[in-house]
A and B are shown apart, each in its own frame.
Chain A
Amino acid sequence: MSKNNQLRADLQQKFEGRILQIEELYDCLVVEISPVDLLATADALKNDALLSFNFLTLLGAVHYPESKERELCLVYHLHSWKNQNRLRIKCYFSIDKPQIQSLTSVFETANWMERETFDFYGVEFQGHPNLKRILNMDSMDYHPMLKQFHLEDETREDKDDRFFGR
């Protein structure tokens, strides 16, 4: 994958010091950056003539309850149509302070995806024009995709999870 090696070199040159980690997972370059750098990095990636990551494909969160201070991870999939390559950006932050910059000023399409992420993970996007629940009802008082909320009733006794998965 010489294309990804080229991209890796370009990124390391342009974002020297901002990249906390960079690796290649299944043909896709994954870059970890600090949440405070998110907006500036996304803006630079979009408007750089060489990189031109013009399209935000997907935005979502992942919850890792075991890793302290890094419980929440936001994952952004960017796509450069000019160079035909994808880039995955990850930002880890603590669930006690679930605030991150909103990307709506760079990619308008982030609007509903950020609302969905707020709805399911409780991530507060700073600068979002209309941050409210989207798929769940407004009166809901928790964020259901967090791992502490189990899919099934924990008090059930008729199913033995030792044999049928976690």
Chain B
Amino acid sequence: MKQGRIRTIAFLDDKKLCMMNVGNDILLSNGQVLSRETIDGDIATINFGPTHPATHGIFQNILKVDGEKILSSEQTVGYIHRAFEKLAERRPYNQIATLTDRLNYCSSPINNLGWQMTVEKLIQAEIPKRVDYMRVIMMELARIADHLICNSVIGVDTGALTSFFYPFTEREKIYELYEEVCGARLTTNMGRIGGFDKDFTPVFHQKLKAFLKSFPKAFEEFNSMLERNRIFMDRTQGAGSISSERALAYGFTGPNLRATGVDYDIRAMHPYASYEDFDFIIPVGVQGDTYDRWMVRQEEVRQSVRIIEQAYANIPEGPVHADIPEFFLPDKKDVYNNMEALIYHFKIVMGETNVPVGEVYHSVEGGNGELGFYLISDGGRAPYRLQFRRPCFIYYQAYPEMITGSNISDAVITLSSLNVIAGELDA
């Protein structure tokens, strides 16, 4: 290495030093070398966020740029921190579900059902097969809704607004399905510990059948707008790419990891809720760039539809909740007419149920990665400690490495293709 030819990122903090280096190549922190043609040594500091329309959430990146080239980036997170882990240490188990759906609010049912499965693992409840299948249907619907948002937003950030509006018609249908199951749309609080509060309603069956019929066609229409679109491909291919080694080092999971070529999926490796019963493919990418992440999500949506179809066709008859009266609220008419039901109702509502002492870790495949719950119970009414493994909090730390050396516009689409959800990031 010739003296003075390559400068390290440390010099960039001092504008004067860098000005002296005009004409020299610059070695960036992620190993990329910028040549003299692309930079002129006039470094500006700009704020990308916290309230920037393209961040899709509240997080800040302080970028040092030379023209359009990003030389370094510093992240600030925590703007919407709501102390969920602290709150959970005071709440009875059934009240924590409302905290979980405020994590990844693009796919709340996955969070709710994941939490309920964690508690069921702790109390070792036996779950009826019908509940598993109902859960699979709801979780895959949530995954479709999550991926639709993320992928259509990548379209917006590349300048294609139409592709944002098309999937929203379909997403609205998914939200109507949520509404039929739990009455809410965004922060769903779906299901109960042990199963569901009620069976799927006739309207739900009607709407799900209609959705399964109309969705694939509408989805392929959305897909055709971007998949082989020359402008979209040129913008996204090579933007924000990361190798599988680096992705693994940064703790990537979910579609972002699969886009780099690693076929890690909790649904296949540690099946929960009877996922082993279903036939589906885990799509993987090659380059780990924005285009691959987009493509992986698109294929996952198709696979989710396949899973829903299989689960719906084979859904077994039976009860919609486990036989655990200490945890599952009794029917209201029993509360009025039956002594035991009244006692259980009171104990559950007041959080006086006896919970076994123990600790469990349970994880589900969330919309953007491995969503885990580490729960320690000391037998009290609330968890002694509850820690969420929030996938985007863990992989978002790779963002500076992914955008250093690229253009600002690439940083925008890299951020949206990572599917970083502010609620989950900040807990």
Q: Verify A135–B78 contact, CB threshold 8 A.
A: yes
Inter-chain CA distance A63–B122, complex, in Å, is 20
Q: Verify A112–B394 contact, CB threshold 8 A.
A: yes
By secondary structure, the B interface counts as: mixed
Q: List 28 A-B contacts (CB under 8 A).
A: A26-B121, A57-B370, A58-B372, A60-B374, A60-B387, A62-B376, A77-B361, A77-B389, A84-B269, A86-B361, A108-B249, A108-B250, A108-B251, A109-B251, A112-B396, A112-B397, A135-B77, A135-B78, A135-B81, A135-B426, A145-B86, A151-B87, A151-B89, A151-B90, A152-B90, A163-B350, A166-B90, A166-B382
CB-CB nearest in chain B for A58: B389
The answer to whether B179 has its CB under 8 Å from any CB of chain A is no
A128 CB to closest chain B CB (Å) equals: 13
Q: Verify B361–A54 contact, CB threshold 8 A.
A: no
Closest 7 CB pairs of A and B: A109-B251, A135-B78, A135-B81, A108-B249, A60-B387, A112-B397, A26-B360
Inter-chain CA distance A152–B89, complex, in Å, is 12
Inter-chain CA distance A30–B359, complex, in Å, is 10
B contact residues around A120 at 8 Å (CB) = 85
Q: Which residues from chain A sit less than 8 Å from chain B, CB to CB?
A: 25-26, 28, 30, 54-58, 60, 62-63, 75, 77, 81, 84, 86, 88, 107-109, 111-113, 116, 120, 134-137, 144-145, 151-152, 163-166
Q: Verify A144–B86 contact, CB threshold 8 A.
A: yes
CB-CB nearest in chain B for A86: B361
Q: Which residues from chain B sit less than 8 Å from chain A, CB to CB?
A: 77-78, 81, 83, 85-87, 89-90, 92, 121-122, 248-251, 264, 269-270, 350-351, 358-361, 363, 370, 372, 374, 376, 380-382, 384-385, 387, 389, 393-394, 396-397, 426-427
Inter-chain CA distance A107–B264, complex, in Å, is 18
- A81-B397 contact given A135-B77, A135-B78, A165-B351, CB 8 Å threshold: no
Inter-chain CA distance A111–B269, complex, in Å, is 26
Q: Verify A151–B86 contact, CB threshold 8 A.
A: yes
Inter-chain CA distance A25–B384, complex, in Å, is 16
